[in-house]
Amino acid sequence: MTSKPAGRTILASTIAKPFTEEITKTVESLSYTPKLVGLLANDDPAAAMYASWTGKTCESLGFKYELQKVDKNELEAALIRANKDSETHGIMVYFPVFGDKQDQYLQQLISPEKDVEGLNFMYYHNLYHNVRFLDPPNNEQKSILPCTPLAMVKILEYLGVYNTLLHYGNRLYGKKVLIVNRSEIVGRPLAALLANDGATVYSVDINNIQQYTRGDDLSEQRHKVIELNGDDISIESLAPTCDVIITGVPSENYKFPTEHVSNGAVVINFASAKNFNDDIKQKAGLYVPSIGKVTISMLLRNLLRLIDNKKVREEAK
């Protein structure tokens, strides 16, 4: 089991490169420097580190980054100010702040026009309903996708899992994907997004396994969800049939069982924890151990998309 792996490990930095180059070029072509405001209202060192990393990436790609450290109880006011500020093009908040449903209220308070993370319920609604534009039938303003699911799409495109010979919107036809994570922020929208693109997705959480598809022959316009039941429904039975295994379990103790991964499968981990043991390299065709650098590129790509959408709206006036 220690022979040279048949497959390859692909780093997020490699996948991100063409995007960061494209982003840098687009920023250079603007007549001003777009600004991202980050709002930090907790003492979490991980959040501070993420904020510092966002700042560095922003500056290296030509954006202005303004970190506002505020008290929890001032966050709402700071948010409303940033929404109104015409010099601020994108806003993000480092959660958790209160750690309860108030955080969701605050998240939704970010103007959709400045929501670089694509977390506004309007954007989620579009994602779930396979609606790709904000302004049908003109279709000039693209809906924003949440960064991590969007990063996953770009990664799967890079890895050749999307087949570009198939019609746009059907490019995952025939692909089976297992996703271990069904969070509202990543796992569930990701399952929907990949199913909307034609995949059969098995979505696993601690309670059950769900299947997301547009029907066997993609005859549906958007995915439907069914709950899989039965003694034979398990990671053990499904994983070996899957072309792609995606994990996002936020625990250092969790390891996906390598023995259930099919030889040559595409394996991607989006958790900050390491969800695979090293022996996965002996099994995977293509293994992407982390995706952060692609995700942050998507954040800045979204910011440029928000600017584009605004331009379309202004020109229509």
- Beta strands per DSSP E along 152-298: 176-180, 200-204, 209-213, 224-228, 244-247, 266-269, 286-288
Per CB under 8 A, 27 contacts its own copies = no
Residue 272 to residue 269: CA distance in whole angstroms: 8
| Stretch 113-152: interaction string toward its own copies, x if CB under 8 A | ----------------------------------------
Residue 58 falls in the annotated catalytic set: no
Per CB under 8 A, 260 contacts its own copies = no
Q: Residue 185, CB half-sphere, CA atoms under 13 Å: how many?
A: 13
User: Which range binds its own copies by CB under 8 A, 40-48, 89-97, 228-236, 280-288?
Assistant: 280-288
Per CB under 8 A, 18 contacts its own copies = no
Per CB under 8 A, 263 contacts its own copies = yes
Cβ atoms 149, 127 nearer than 8 A: yes
Under DSSP, the state recorded for 99 is S
Alpha carbon separation from 101 to 50, 61, 66, 70, 95 (Å, rounded): 22, 34, 26, 19, 12
User: Which range binds its own copies by CB under 8 A, 5-13, 25-33, 147-155, 290-298?
Assistant: 5-13
Under DSSP, the state recorded for 271 is S
Residue 193 to residue 198: CA distance in whole angstroms: 9
Per CB under 8 A, 160 contacts its own copies = yes
Per CB under 8 A, 7 contacts its own copies = yes
Paired strand residues for 38: 67, 92
User: Which range binds its own copies by CB under 8 A, 112-120, 166-174, 182-190, 247-255?
Assistant: 166-174
Among 285, 295, 298, 303, binds its own copies (CB under 8 A): 285
**Residues acting as catalytic residues:** 147
Residues that bind its own copies (CB under 8 A): 3, 5-8, 10, 159-160, 163-167, 170, 173-175, 198, 216-219, 241, 243, 262-265, 282-283, 285-286
